[in-house]
Amino acid sequence: MAERDPSTSAFVVLFSSLLLLTVVVGEEVGKSGRFPLVVSTWPFVEAVRAAWRAADNGLSSIDAVVEGCSACEELRCDGTVGPGGSPDEHGETTIDALVMDGVTMEVGAVAAMRYVKDGIRAARLVMKYSRHTLLVGEWASAFAISMGLPGPVNLSSSESIKKWSDWKENYCQPNFRKNVIPENDCGPYKPKHDTEVAIKGTLTESCETGKIEYRSSLIGHHNHDTISMIVIDKTGRIAVGTSTNGATYKIPGRVGDGPIAGSSAYADDEVGGCGATGDGDIMMRFLPCYQVVESMRLGMEPERAAKDAISRITRKFPDFVGAVVAVNKNGSHAGACHGWTFQYSVRDPDMDDVQVFTVLPS
Ligand code: GLY
């Protein structure tokens, strides 16, 4: 199958977003209560347009989420969604994705999926054609292909291979290992015992604070990005979905927050929905989107619920980088972030096109 040039795709997305109104968010917005409503992490404008078209044409919230996230996979949004990005230590791209129905609380997800580029469609197949919630690795690929998705295909791109070759030439630095001694520059690694010296350039646990210290180059907008999308359809049904190719230079087999319900996304029709992006290895320990929805259930407005979920993480991990966007069942929305400036995109019936909201770190 022909592959799009990711730099062209990135330009289209960037150019589209520049044409749009950018608003700095101070408090929650969007209280008209009119649906459909589409909300997505980042200025993934084409993805929101695709979901909007589907929802506006009367498709269900689940189908609209799949259309939206699928558009991002095709465009390889930011290089961190779909094929061709985030090579692992072996140079391979794998995909994490999830879809959740806020009416039935059904979830379908795939993790570390190889050789199949359509993450969100694979996740929907798991939800629709199995009683399971999460399939992983090559078995997720086999299931997706058996249910009709194209594959096996090579998920690498010239960009991901170049990135990986450069990393190998740089002695496989930075990387996600900690407390190890490499036998050679790029491993194999063995555990470091207390008497040995930690190797320079790997993740290390600080002796003074006991906290994990991350190299800043491993965490950022173009690493750990996720499309996490919330749709309320015309009938008020809420669904969420995510798709990401994870963290660049991850250890093979690593699964991030993307396919973990309650972490990267969560929905309950009775309350609202939530999407998250950022350092999934940290976020999945806190289930921030479950926290957001449950806080809203207890009466918090979206802004307060979003800030509360982020602060629960930063109290333990002050260097954490990530964000959440909260949407209640009336359509009010707000974001919160830490360690970076976060943007999210919205389309509702009052808007002529997608609007991008900017959230400053608290
Ligand atoms: N948030 C994406 C990841 O960490 O895999």
pLDDT, position 191: 95
Pocket lining: 247 vs ligand 1, CB cutoff 6 Å = yes
pLDDT of residue 265 exceeding 80: yes
183-210: average pLDDT: 62
C-alpha dist (Å) from residue 343 to 30, 135, 237: 16, 30, 24
Taking the CA of residue 280 as reference, the ligand 1 atom at the shortest distance is 4
95-118: average pLDDT: 98
pLDDT of residue 329 exceeding 90: yes
Centre of ligand 1 to C-alpha 226, Å, is 6
pLDDT single digits (tens) 51-88? 999 999 999 999 999 999 999 999 999 999 999 999 99
Supply the residue whose CA is at minimum distance from atom 2 of ligand 1: 224
Centre of ligand 1 to C-alpha 349, Å, is 31
What is the rounded average pLDDT for all residues in the chain? Answer: 87
Determine contact, residues 230/274, Cβ cutoff 8 Å: yes
Centre of ligand 1 to C-alpha 222, Å, is 11
Centre of ligand 1 to C-alpha 155, Å, is 18
pLDDT, position 204: 36
pLDDT, position 9: 43
Band (pLDDT 50/70/90 cuts) for residue 197 is low
Least confident window among 25-34, 35-44, 196-205, 221-230:
196-205
pTM of the model: 0.87
Supply the residue whose CA is at minimum distance from atom 4 of ligand 1: 280
> Hey, what are 93's tokens?
């791209």
d(CA 113, CA 136): 6
Band (pLDDT 50/70/90 cuts) for residue 319 is very high
pLDDT of residue 163 exceeding 90: yes
Exposed e or buried b for every residue in 258-283, given b needs 16+ CB within 10 A?
bbbbbbbbbbbbebbbbbbbbbbbbb
Determine contact, residues 336/324, Cβ cutoff 8 Å: yes
Residues of the chain with pLDDT > 70, as a percent, come to: 82
Q: Which domains does the chain have, with CATH numbers?
A: 37-156+219-359 (3.60.20.30)
C-alpha 2: how far from its chain's center?
25
Pocket lining: 224 vs ligand 1, CB cutoff 6 Å = yes
pLDDT, position 221: 57
pLDDT, position 202: 44
Where in the sequence numbering do the catalytic residues fall? 226
pLDDT, position 34: 82
Centre of ligand 1 to C-alpha 277, Å, is 7
pLDDT of residue 152 exceeding 90: yes
Pocket lining: 250 vs ligand 1, CB cutoff 6 Å = no
pLDDT, position 120: 98
Taking the CA of residue 254 as reference, the ligand 1 atom at the shortest distance is 5
311-334: average pLDDT: 97
pLDDT, position 64: 98
The pick from 226, 263, 321 for probing ligand 1's pocket by mutation, whose C-beta has the most ligand atoms within 8 angstroms, reads: 226
pLDDT, position 17: 43
Q: Give CA torsion, residues 273, 278, 283, 287, to 10 deg.
A: 0
pLDDT of residue 115 exceeding 70: yes
pLDDT of residue 339 exceeding 50: yes
In which residue are the tokens 């992006």 written?
Answer: 277
Least confident window among 6-10, 170-174, 306-310:
6-10
Taking the CA of residue 96 as reference, the ligand 1 atom at the shortest distance is 5
Pocket lining: 277 vs ligand 1, CB cutoff 6 Å = yes
pLDDT, position 7: 41
Determine contact, residues 215/240, Cβ cutoff 8 Å: no
pLDDT of residue 39 exceeding 80: yes
DSSP sequence for 167-189: HHHTTT-S-S-BSEEESSTT--E
